[in-house]
Amino acid sequence: MPEQLRVLMIGAGGVGDAAARIAVERDFFDAWVVADYDLARAERTVEAARERGAGDERFSARQVDASDADAVTALAREVRATHVFNAVDPRFVMPIFTGALAADAGYLDMAMSLSSRHPESPYEQVGVKLGDEQFAMADQWEAAGRLALLGIGVEPGLSDVFARYAADELFDHIDELGTRDGANLVIRDDDGTEVFAPGFSMWTIIEECLNPPVVWEKARAHGDLEAGFFTLPPFSEPEVFDFPEGIGPVECVHVEHEEVLLMPRWIDADRVTFKYGLGTEMIAILRTLHTLGLDSTTPVTVKGVEVSPRDVVAACLPDPATIGPRMEGKTCAGMLVTGTGKDGQPRATYLYHVVDNADSMRDYGAQCVVWQTALNPVVALELIAAGTWSGTGVLGPEALPPGPFLDLLAAPRPGGYGSPWGIEDRTPGAAA
């Protein structure tokens, strides 16, 4: 049954700000409360949304400490939230996740609870995996009759929808589900000189890229899902992947990512991987940060003040929400699926979504990386409001029907979101 949602979005950084700018054009919700530790930042996001929506009064700003589950619960109850949308970095997943459950609200996030390395064999065996803490609470969400939808950004998120679509519509047998992400983005300073400025949270980049990447293989599982997961050293198995729409070849390496922890739960495949086009400069910077200990989250004392080295690194770089005007190029999120097609023949297909920074800046005032991420949870919320996506417990996007999502994403505005996705045949020997 269709319902009008009351959304509590926690986080007014780049992705949260872009989500509000997207959501203001939609009519599936009665209220969209933007909450942040920094009230002024939340107020700026509300102001930007209202400017786009001719003073839309559905938007309001509140202050909240995302590390305090009780505070999340209290605010969710106060604003009568039907759904809590987590738009902050993954350090705060569990207090927001548990706070939403206590408030009897639905939940969405774009990154899952954090992992920790295996104490003896970090580059061979998994320790605590991404999302383990959340899946451990699945029974509680089911008993409450509420849905916690994990990983519904772009990657994870849209990539998982692509995987489900490929499994349902294109393949009889899947050898590998391989997320492949790359870009040709350039950021320049006031003089036009190319500078280093990540397109999303440097804290999260360090977390993803220096943790041991996880791979899943059915041959290792022997019927036990958990036995199929194993780890590799960071930046393993580099490959050059040719990205579409003019981006071109980019070297991609294994990175720890939620898709690998989600897809085997609902999709039958022999292997699941995630590779990201980091580039030689980013890899060199990450290696240096690790060598110097600047990737650590353990506080150190500097002139009497306790600070986390990783927090300092992130604070020294430009806010990803502010670099859009200096950014050029495109970003691509996609899923390379290999196996046997519905016709019984070998098949390799790349399903993808490309965003040009010039387009997202022109239409939404948001740089392409954060805009592409923010788009998908808004689409998901609209499908939940319509009753098209539903369920209870802790689910990933691949547990839900992909067709309505992809149709709504690509359909022209104002009915849809006007952001088409693409599909390419990558079968060896296929015509270009």
CATH number at residue 402: 3.40.50.720
Tell me the CATH number at 192: 3.30.360.10
Quick check: pTM over 0.75? yes
What whole-number distance in Å separates Cα of residue 7 and Cα of residue 52? Answer: 18
Residues 6+ away with beta carbon under 8 Å from 251? 238, 239, 240, 241, 277, 278, 279, 280
Establish if 360 belongs to a structural domain: yes
For 325, the domain range is: 158-368+421-425
- Two tokens, residue 38: 């920094």
pLDDT value, residue 323: 81
56 and 132 both lie in a single domain: yes
Establish if 173 belongs to a structural domain: yes
Burial of 254-271, coded b for 16+ CB within 10 Å and e otherwise, reads bbbbbbbbbbbebbebbb
Write the pLDDT tens digit of every residue in 323-353.
Answer: 878 889 999 999 999 999 999 999 999 999 9
186 and 314 both lie in a single domain: yes
Q: 101, 105, 93: which is closest to 33 by C-alpha?
A: 105
Residues 6+ away with beta carbon under 8 Å from 377? 19, 85, 87, 108, 110, 152, 153, 157
172 and 293 both lie in a single domain: yes
Establish if 415 belongs to a structural domain: no
Q: 25, 31, 33: which is closest to 5 by C-alpha?
A: 31
Q: 278, 232, 223: which is closest to 253 by C-alpha?
A: 278
pLDDT band at 210 (very low <50, low <70, confident <90, very high): confident
pLDDT value, residue 325: 85
pLDDT value, residue 281: 82
364 and 381 both lie in a single domain: no
Q: 421, 324, 318, 420: which is closest to 368 by C-alpha?
A: 324
Residues 6+ away with beta carbon under 8 Å from 240? 249, 250, 251, 252
93 and 198 both lie in a single domain: no
pLDDT band at 123 (very low <50, low <70, confident <90, very high): very high
pLDDT value, residue 255: 93
Overall residue count recorded for the chain in this entry: 432
Map residue 132 onto helix, strand or coil.
Answer: helix
Establish if 431 belongs to a structural domain: no
pLDDT band at 163 (very low <50, low <70, confident <90, very high): very high
Find the Cα–Cα–Cα–Cα dihedral 66, 72, 78, 83, rounded to 10°.
Answer: 100
- Two tokens, residue 173: 């047998």
